[in-house]
A and B are shown apart, each in its own frame.
Chain A
Amino acid sequence: MANENTVIINGEPVVIEGEVNLLELVQKAGIELPTFCYHSELSVYGACRMCLVEVKGRGLQAACSTPPEPGMEIETHTEKTQKIRRMVLELLLANHDRECTTCDKSTVCKLQQLSQQLKLDDIRFKNRTKHQEKDLSSPALVRDPNKCILCGDCVRMCDEIQSIGVLDFANRGSDVIVGPAFKKKIGEVDCVNCGQCAAVCPTGAITVRSQMQNVWQAIQDPSKTVIAQIAPAIRVTVGEAFGLGPDAPLMGKMAASMRKMGFDKVYDTCLTADLTILEETNEFLHRLQEGGKLPIFTSCCPGWVKFAEQFYPDLLDNLSTCRSPQQMFGSLAKNYYAAELGIDPEDLYVVSVMPCTAKKFEAARSEFSKDGVPEVDAVLTTQELVAMIKEAGVRFNEIEARALDMPFGFATGAGVIFGNSGGVAEAVLRYAYEKVTGQELADVDFKIVRGLEGIKEAEIALPEVTLRLAVVSGLGNVRKLIERIRSGEARYDIVEVMTCPGGCIGGGGQLLPNNMENRERRTRELYAMDAGMPFRKSQDNPIVDKIYQKWLGEPNSHAAHEALHTSYKSRRRIEDSIAR
């Protein structure tokens, strides 16, 4: 029986429990409505019309934009709605470059999936004939307008979540396109390369710029020694491609697979994450004691660094001068390790495996090259690594885990949690506490900075000083926080910034779907991994110790500065006076 708070869906009553739209309610009733343009984190767009349902007394309504009302009676699969869905799909496909076999998004493409689901067997319209050029201007992303279905997901992601807005619609009617203003290319505008657009794109219209061929080439070149570093957030994602859960020894499997593929050594970026903690915390404590620029903003996230250079050049002195863990690794590898191996830095090919598309841009920054030799030669995203494992024919599910290589294969829990929002801040606290108090930290868990909320705040009392922390992810949230800091409304000592919502576990190069559910799970698994590690503090990493002893002296030494720090420059293209 229908009660006061019930919607009848296909004849069955379903209770409304805070669902904001019919789409969610229908989902709860066990029915998946197809959609291209609905994302719970983005504003409701209502454009693809795939989720139309028949509401008694009101006719056809888009489920995504209709709030459930008690007493509503809806039908989800009527003759009319099914006809419409098929026709929408047919129209989209007719206008789509259907080169599925060579498409990067094949098998994860929503358009492809829905065509399969609806068993569309014929397209009665002429195929599109206008071919638009691919945009290859960005080191991180590829835009193929021929595959764009104009759902606007990337537009809203870039504008609403990341507050950048380099993508928008242009033209009218069937000439409508999505792209940067004035027909510019994505590499010429204020894109920070975060790749969140690619992560929401339902088709192959925006994809990760692949460097797989470069890496294969290096592997097959006998003169090159190819070493890899694996970022913290990869270890909770790669299993998704093979149906493996957290119990599988994914790091070991990756190490084994990559060696099979031809990598000479497989290392862990967690190590240089620990190094980052030592450098950054000392830099921070120095600023705190000497009255330097505060708050200090973390600098491990390349999307954020470019964002700051573009939109907040006045805050660049607040950024920590520490390089990101990726670039610290590259620097140590090329400047010290190559010599130790007795090879020319040019012949040491450094590959990083990252959850991140912006890392590709970071690796290509001129300050991270010496005499034309980049310190990190190639950046593979999780997606590319998985593709390479498959290409190499490695049976990942069956391969036996192997230990990572030394010296750079040693991780602590502090390094592992770099992979999600709050992790860097927590790792800093684990070190700062002991550094400031000289006492051992009994409970290393600072749960206050954990979680997927966009802006987290915490005050941590140390003897003599209380540290005020902010942890922020998603550049829209970053903008909000900075405005609050600038207005004096908020004061912090340390601000941890990550570009992607939830941090690197939700990076633009991660496996799809990169949805809330997956982000939550990856975060959970990362903290579980940290909890199970024998060493959980950066300062306890014995290799870090060795690196200082052997190469760098002590944190923030001259040698450390040379190897592990960097500087920033304004990238503002329009002067303030004009922009305002």
Chain B
Amino acid sequence: MSTAKVDMNSVHKDYCQALKREKIRVAVCAGLGCIVNGALKLYDALEAEIKAKGIYADLSYLLEDESNSGCSVVKTGCQGFCEAGALIRIEPAGLVYIHVKPEDAAEIAERTLLKGEIIERLAYKAPYSDKAVAERNEIPFFSGQKQIVLRNCGIIDPSDIRDYIAHDGYLALQKALKEMSRDQVIATVIDSGLKGRGGAGFPAGRKWAFAKAEESDTKYMVCNADEGDPGAFMDRSVLEGDPHSIIEAMAIAGYAIGASHGYIYVRAEYPLAVARLKHALKEARDNGLLGNDILGSGFDFDIKIKEGAGAFVCGEESALLASIEGKRGMPRPKPPFPAQKGLWGYPTVINNVETLASVPLVILRGAEWFSSCGVGRSTGTKTFALSGKVRNTGLVEVPMGTTLRDMIFKIGGGIRDDKRFKAVQIGGPSGGCLTEEHLDLTLDYDSLAKVGAIIGSGGLVVMDEDTCMVEMARFFMHFTQSESCGKCVPCREGTKRMLEILEKIVAGKGTMEDLELLDEVARMVKDASLCGLGKTAPNPVLTMIKYFRDEYLAHVVDKRCPAGQCQAFKSYYIDPELCKGCGKCSRGCPAGAISGKPREAYGIDTEACLKCGACVEMCPFGAIGKGDGPKSKEDNERNG
């Protein structure tokens, strides 16, 4: 398959035939979390064991001869269940083994691959019952999901274009180029209701239509892979696990809008994604799927990679374009929109990775198929990076309209250590915080907008009773302030002052005036900022003040942190009855805040105390406690 005249259908058929002879596929998750947990060694061990058993068959071997068959082992992209790494998936049996070690390879080969037995020790244990569940679709983390974007992640080998093609890859591009007009492609995407998954939720098809309508010899198709939300890794997973889906989608979009140049703007901090993309681009070019006269259609398209140097604001499309142009990544006012004047002044469409990942299936299976998934005007699925205090953290994809409750308690397995659910921050530092009363809210553009939150790029940070909402707001504000490009006054100066006030409150020095000023500045930053970063930066603060006003008041008025998290409100005491006067704590105190005479009870100078808690650890007699001290203890004794 090296000429442009190739027919993808027949290539696809050949590969599918070969894959039918693949009796078993062991998919080793090679996402970052699993790699850290030894996935690469596990892969080597499994490959050695399978070869030793004489059943090893990779795609090349299967294609070699029609009688060849056997068992393959592939390194896949992230399978999502990061909590359980390293993990493997065994198909077609549909099994998942978690926390697998290289030492387990022999047993897996012997018992599961040869004999079809399930190794319970490696299976997922249901909470409470501890029942072993190895079937993928019976593990709540997986069974609650529907995977469109991540369809290939975790099952195909991202470094082999043949595997992608065998899984219906590049059929959509062929369909678009050979059977559809540019307008039909755009109409299909519009009808599917696919909206931008990068945060703003603008209908993707309409963006394409705007760019197509512009008259210009040169146009650009840009993929925004500058995933910057703290804790978000949806895009990285797609790029690492299914890079060809992005390349295919960009070619389709390029065809639709009339662009022959594409750029993927990807963070340099994603080296594996960059490597996989580079490899995939080469494969696509070698196979005539990029370059001139793609599939004999006369359509030319190629893609360059631009590595971003790691600025959150470069996820904003006009800043991203400036960065590609070699300028400082700062947003510019719109209009003109990129679809009118984008990269180097030419009409440009910018789509997020996840948006693009849906495109091939929208084209292949049709608008109706896609829009049948989801709720209302929010069609399709959405990926989320589930993190924080839930049992099952990881990457999940659910149909639009899934409830927060299902997300947190079913897929996420509930709150860790049986603590109480308190809130969930949705949409990263640009999103809002939601509480228990919102648990039955459905995750979609419209219903989230109603409560002042956004899907954003899909970060979900779950918080329990031990999380302080003021500290949480401070954390996000610190992030947006240090990532503000500094161009417009509201964002640069406003977020700085918001952070200042939040720091003051956390330090126990806040006043009611501060709280009012915080609210006033937050609203102004939201209204007046130039770009999306600034306009959304106050969301965490505004929603947290709205839903947890009591907690803010507790910090300001009562000078206490109900969650017990803020250092400033902590205090320590030495119980004179237990203290033997050994002086260990005094010698170890970094602030020199403890003093006393040998063999007499020591005391803490609360003014000088840093509240680090080091003394508690050091005391051999358990005489140092947290709280207001022996006085309350005495009171208790008296009352008792």
Contact = CB atoms under 8 A, between A and B. Distances in A.
Interface of A: 44-49, 52, 60, 62, 64-67, 80, 83-84, 87-88, 91-92, 94-95, 124-126, 149-150, 152, 168-169, 171-176
Given A49-B528, A125-B500, A126-B500, A174 B333 contact: no
Given A46-B333, A92-B493, A150 B527 contact: no
Contact of B330 (A49, A94, A169, A174): A169
A94 B500 CA distance: 13
Interface in B488-509: 488-490, 492-497, 500
Given A172-B311, A173-B481, A173-B482, A84 B330 contact: no
Interface stretch (B277-285, B408-416, B517-525, B576-584): B517-525
B328 A172 contact: no
B622 interface: no
A173 B477 CA distance: 11
A171 B486 CA distance: 8
B492 A176 contact: yes
Contacts of B330: 169
A90 B490 CA distance: 11
Contact of A88 (B483, B484, B496, B528): B528
A168 B486 CA distance: 12
B332 A94 contact: no
B485 interface: yes
Nearest to B479: A173
Given A80-B527, A174-B481, A48 B495 contact: no
A16 to B, nearest CB: 16
A91 B486 contact: no
Contacts of A87: 490, 494, 520-521, 524, 528
Main secondary structure of the interface of B (DSSP, over half): helix
9 interchain residue pairs of minimum CB distance: A176-B486, A46-B333, A65-B333, A91-B493, A174-B496, A173-B484, A47-B488, A87-B524, A173-B482
Among B484, B494, B524, B529, find the residue whose CB has the most chain A CB atoms closer than 10 A. B524
9 contacts: A47-B487, A47-B489, A84-B524, A87-B490, A94-B493, A149-B489, A171-B486, A173-B482, A176-B492
Nearest to B495: A173
Contacts of A60: 527-528
A436 to B, nearest CB: 47
A80 B524 CA distance: 9
Given A84-B524, A171-B486, A172-B482, A49 B497 contact: no
B335 A95 contact: no
A124 B488 contact: no
B517 A46 contact: no
A169 B486 contact: yes
Interface string B558-575: 000000000000000000
Contacts of B485: 172, 176
A49 B332 CA distance: 12
Contact of A47 (B328, B520, B530): B530
B492 A49 contact: no
Contacts of A171: 486
A47 B492 CA distance: 10
Given A46-B488, A94-B497, A169-B486, A83 B524 contact: yes
A173 B520 CA distance: 20
Contacts of B488: 46-49
Given A91-B489, A95-B493, A172-B485, 7 more contacts: A48-B489, A49-B488, A60-B527, A91-B493, A149-B489, A171-B486, A174-B492
Interface string B319-346: 0000000001010111100000000000
Contacts of A152: 487
Contacts of A150: 486-487, 489, 492
B486 A52 contact: no
Contacts of A126: 500
A175 B484 CA distance: 10
Contacts of A176: 485-486, 492
Interface string B12-23: 000000000000
Contacts of B513: 124
Contacts of B521: 87, 91
A108 to B, nearest CB: 21
Contacts of A65: 333-335
A48 B520 CA distance: 18
B527 A169 contact: no
Contacts of B524: 83-84, 87-88
Given A48-B489, A49-B490, A88-B490, A66 B335 contact: yes
A52 B528 contact: yes
B493 A174 contact: yes
A460 to B, nearest CB: 38
A293 B548 CA distance: 78
A49 B488 CA distance: 7
B524 to A, nearest CB: 5
Nearest to A64: B333
Nearest to A60: B527
Given A49-B530, A172-B482, A44 B489 contact: no
Nearest to B531: A46
Contacts of B489: 47-49, 88, 91-92, 149-150
Contacts of B481: 173-174
A48 B492 CA distance: 10
Nearest to B517: A124
A45 B489 CA distance: 12
B333 A44 contact: yes
A449 to B, nearest CB: 33
B230 to A, nearest CB: 15
B529 A49 contact: yes
Interface in B162-216: none
Nearest to B329: A172
Nearest to A84: B528
B528 A91 contact: no
Interface string B271-290: 00000000000000000000
Interface string B446-486: 00000000000000000000000000000000000111111
Nearest to A125: B497
Contacts of A94: 493, 497
Nearest to A59: B527
A149 B517 CA distance: 22
A321 to B, nearest CB: 39
Nearest to B484: A173
Contacts of A66: 335
Given A88-B528, A124-B517, A173 B487 contact: no
A235 B527 CA distance: 48
Contacts of B334: 65
A125 B521 CA distance: 11
B449 to A, nearest CB: 15
B333 A62 contact: yes
Given A80-B527, A124-B517, A173 B486 contact: yes
Contacts of A169: 328, 330, 486-487
A172 B517 contact: no
Nearest to B500: A126
Nearest to A88: B489
Nearest to A52: B528
A175 B494 CA distance: 13
B279 to A, nearest CB: 32
Nearest to B336: A67
Contacts of B335: 65-67
Nearest to B523: A83
Nearest to B499: A174
Contacts of A92: 489, 493
Nearest to A95: B493
Nearest to A49: B528
Give the residue among A44, A46, A62, A126 with the most B Cβ atoms within 10 A. Answer: A46
A544 to B, nearest CB: 50
A124 B520 CA distance: 12
B58 to A, nearest CB: 47
Nearest to B482: A173
A9 B490 CA distance: 25
